Structure 1
Amino acid sequence: MAPSLLLMSSSRVNDSEYLQAYAEFIKGHFDAAQEVLFIPYAGVTMDYDTYTARVQQALAAYDIRIKGLHTANDPQAEIRSAEGILVGGGNTFRLLQQLYHYDLLAEIQAKVKQGCPYAGWSAGANIAGLTIRTTNDMPIVEPPSFRALELVPLQLNPHYVDVHPPGFHGETRAQRLAEYMTLHPGTPVLALREGALLEVSASAQVIHCCTGVNGSDPAFLFRAGTQTPLPAGTDLNKLV
């Protein structure tokens, strides 16, 4: 069965309220679920109870029931019984480390392959790719491997920006992704501006754009030394 994925770049767009720019997408994505399992492991400076409560509050108006995975006595069994899986942003290295610690990668992969809808933003989107080698985050912890969920056959780079402020002499995001392409020319990288998201269904992998995205294109595809702009409505099935 084809995966059902909603991969969002960020939790906000410009000055929007927490998760509100994406709320209608999230509601539609989990429409058949009575309860959605939330994975808060990317949170570092916010404890898991607080993080889960924040997500619950943000989605309460949309009748989406949220349960924090951290409250489960058996996280693997909780994944196996989930009707929907939602993964929050934060630090991607910490998130992946915790998924390895609880031995959850194979469980999530199997559940999603069975048709369970998966959604994530920022770090939660990052881990849906092949590896986390194109995250923007600092490696504050060391997971056993950079291999991630492999739910899509590409790398992801949420929060993509292409500004180069005057006087800034560090590498731009595009230059960093060019370094990755140099060493991995055959692996595509999907860069999502804030407010952009990738929706994957049985028939398509479509780029969407929320109101307020800065820039003419919500996403870019980096591969083999090229950078291709992706307008809203682009179906990645035709490109990767």
Structure 2
Amino acid sequence: MTKKLLLISNSTNAGEAYLGWPQSFIKAFLEKHSVTEVLFIPYAGVSLGADLQSSYDNYEARVAGVFSALGVTLTSVHRCKEPLKAAMKAQCIAVGGGNTWHLVNELHRTGLMSVIRERAVSGMPYMGWSAGSNVACPTLMTTNDMPIIQPPSFNCMGLIPFQINPHYLDKNPEGHGGETREDRIREFLVINPGMKVAGLREACLLEVEGDTMLLKGAHQLRLFEAGKEPVEYPENSDLSQLLK
């Protein structure tokens, strides 16, 4: 079956509405695949309320408002008595951003990691932003966030054969003396020389349709491979070769 993926670097640009910049891409993706109902995975949203339950509730409400404006009904999996059955029946699954470590832990704990992977490989439309794009990769090792929990495995869905580093920054904030993002990616490649890493800048996404992958959005993508200088690909590039 043909994979249908929308892998978004970030939900929101500074000073803009929530899911504002990718909204037109999300709308086009949903319409292209005749999606009217979406199952939402909120597990990366850890601190949006007083506890996890209220955080998930708040996350669902926030995302559902955006999707409702697109004519699409969104329900969070945390409300489902049988999450695996809900995932098996879903028209489309959207995985929200936040803490990737907690997201991966919960996807493994519930069994959703393998079920969502099977559905997406079989052609169900899948979208994710930030942490939601991380878990489409083979592993969570190129995420940016703090390991607040130890998941049973770093393995993710492997819907694409390379890693994404979302929110990719070219330089550190002024006055920051730590490693750059590029430094950290180079460290990863020393230990994992067979992998490739796509530095996906904010306001950018990758859309996969079968064997075709296009870079969309406002910026270039920076591709890292072990032993090679990074390569910049301009917006609207065909990056299908990375799927091989």
Q: Is this contact kept in 2: 1:195–1:218, CA < 8 A?
A: no
Which letter does structure 2 place at the counterpart of 1:236?
A: L
Q: Is this contact kept in 1: 2:77–2:86, CA < 8 A?
A: yes
Which letter does structure 2 place at the counterpart of 1:66?
A: L
Tell me what 1:79 maps to. Answer: 87
SS in 2 for 1:130: coil
- Tell me by how many angstroms 1:60 deviates: 2.0
Unpaired runs of 5+ in structure 2? 49-54
Tell me what 1:222 maps to. Answer: 224
Deviations 1:70-129 (A, max 9, x none): 000011000000000000000000000000110111101111122110000000011000
Deviations 1:21-78 (A, max 9, x none): 1111111212211210000000111211110000011222211210111000011000
Q: How does 1:1-240 map to 2 (within 5 A)?
A: 1-31=1-31, 32-46=34-48, 47-210=55-218, 217-225=219-227, 226-239=229-242
Task: Compare 180-189 and 125-134 and name the one that shifted more.
Answer: 180-189
Which letter does structure 1 place at the counterpart of 2:224?
A: F
Separation (CA, whole Å) in 1 of partners of 2:10 and 2:220: 12
Count of paired positions: 234
Unpaired runs of 5+ in structure 1? 211-216
Q: Is this contact kept in 2: 1:207–1:234, CA < 8 A?
A: yes
Task: Compare 87-96 and 179-188 and name the one that shifted more.
Answer: 179-188
Separation (CA, whole Å) in 2 of partners of 1:35 and 1:128: 21
Which letter does structure 2 place at the counterpart of 1:4?
A: K
Which letter does structure 2 place at the counterpart of 1:63?
A: G
Separation (CA, whole Å) in 1 of partners of 2:67 and 2:138: 29
- Tell me by how many angstroms 1:14 deviates: 3.0
Task: Compare 121-130 and 177-186 and name the one that shifted more.
Answer: 177-186
Q: Is this contact kept in 2: 1:30–1:36, CA < 8 A?
A: no
Tell me what 2:51 maps to. Answer: none
- Tell me by how many angstroms 1:189 deviates: 0.6
Q: Which runs of structure 1 show a deviation greater than 4 angstroms over 4 or more consecutive aligned residues?
A: none
Separation (CA, whole Å) in 2 of partners of 1:57 and 1:71: 17
- Tell me by how many angstroms 1:165 deviates: 4.2
Under a length normalisation based on structure 1, what TM-score does the superposition of the two structures give?
0.94
Separation (CA, whole Å) in 1 of partners of 2:60 and 2:233: 33
Separation (CA, whole Å) in 2 of partners of 1:188 and 1:117: 24
